[in-house]
Each structure stands twice: as C-alpha cells, then as structure tokens.
Amino acid sequence: MNDSAHRYGSVSRILHWGMVLLLTLQFLKLGDRIDEGDHWIGQTLVPTHVSIGVLLLVLVLLRLTWAVVQRGRRPQPAGPLGGLARIGHGLLYLCMLAMPLLGLAVMLGNGYGLKVFGVQLVARGGEEIPWLASLGSLHSPLAWLFLLLVLGHVAAALFHHFVVKDDTLRRMAG
C-alpha cells in the first residue's frame, strides 16, 4: 500500500494508472477539433467529458494528498535527470489541477450549468460571468500543452527503460 524507496505502493499505482486511463479518454476529446467539431470522436465524448474532468479533479487532489503523506518514502530521482523529472512532474500536476478548474470556468462562466454523472449540480441557464468565461477560454489551448507534457513523460519513462536501463518504469508498473 505504502510507497518505498524502491517502488511505488498500490495506492500510488492505482491512482496513476486510473488517471492515465481517464486522461486518455479526455485527450480523445481533442478529436472534436477535427472537421470543426463535426467528427464522431468529439461528439461521442462530449457528454462524459465534464463528468470525467470533475472526477479527475477529485483524483488529483487525492493523489496530491497521498504524495504529501508518502513524501519521505517515495523513490527520489537523482542527478540532473532527477531535477528535470521534478520540474516535469510539477508541470504535470499543475496541468492536472488547472485543466478541470478551467473546464469548470467554461461551464459556469458561460451559464451552461454543471451536470456530473447525471446529477445537476448547477442549473443551466444561469447568468454569464464574462471574466470567468474568459479565464475558461484557456482550457482548450492548455490541453495541447498538457498533451505534450504527457507525451514527454511517456518518452522519459521509455528512455529510462530502454536507454538508461534503470528501474524507473518498473517502480510505477508494479
């Protein structure tokens, strides 16, 4: 359950890989940029995008809390690559927090309301809040940066596994 200096524990691994699955679904939503939103990929995922985004916000808050609790036990990246890893992880966590918050800004700022897994949390047709809608407009452009960071994270893990030949990937894989 707990992390150790040699590998991540079951809680960290479940949170990581569960979020990988959910983030993959979220990134598929970028398919609505194909053919100006008329592509089946984006249209299929629109109904679940907001709900999964709210779930991801809850999960990243749990993950951050768990990371603080496990701080002294976790594997620590060393050397210059370790410094880059810390920066990369910091940027990933920043995006994991910012993306759902900016998504909420889109929904609430434009008066769309908020429905999560079928439960209406904020009624549709509310008053528009221009500054919040404007802030929310950063959601889509940030998604592309977030995707690049995730791809960089995957590339770094594969680099460690196949080039450096260390146990970085195995520590999270189980």
Residues ≥6 apart with Cβ < 8 Å to 135 = 102, 105, 109
DSSP letter at 77 equals -
Question: What torsion, rounded to 10 degrees, do the Cα atoms 39, 43, 44, 49 define?
Answer: 130
Whether the pTM exceeds 0.75: the reply is: yes
Q: Are 60 and 96 in contact (CB under 8 A)?
A: yes
Average pLDDT over residues 120-135: 94
Percent share of the chain, pLDDT over 90: 74
Structural domains for the chain: 10-173 (1.20.950)
Q: Could you read off the pLDDT of 159-170 as tens digits, one per residue? A: 999 999 998 899
3-state class (DSSP) for residue 37: helix
Q: Are 170 and 7 in contact (CB under 8 A)?
A: yes
Residue 157 CA to its chain's centroid (Å) = 17
Which residues on neighbouring strands pair with residue 120, listed in sequence order? 115
Q: Could you read off the pLDDT of 38-89 as tens digits, one per residue? A: 667 766 777 799 999 999 999 999 999 999 999 989 877 778 888 899 999 9
CA atoms within a 13 Å half-sphere pointing along the CA-CB vector of 42:
10
Structure tokens at 168: 């970085």
pLDDT-derived band at 112, boundaries 50, 70, 90: very high
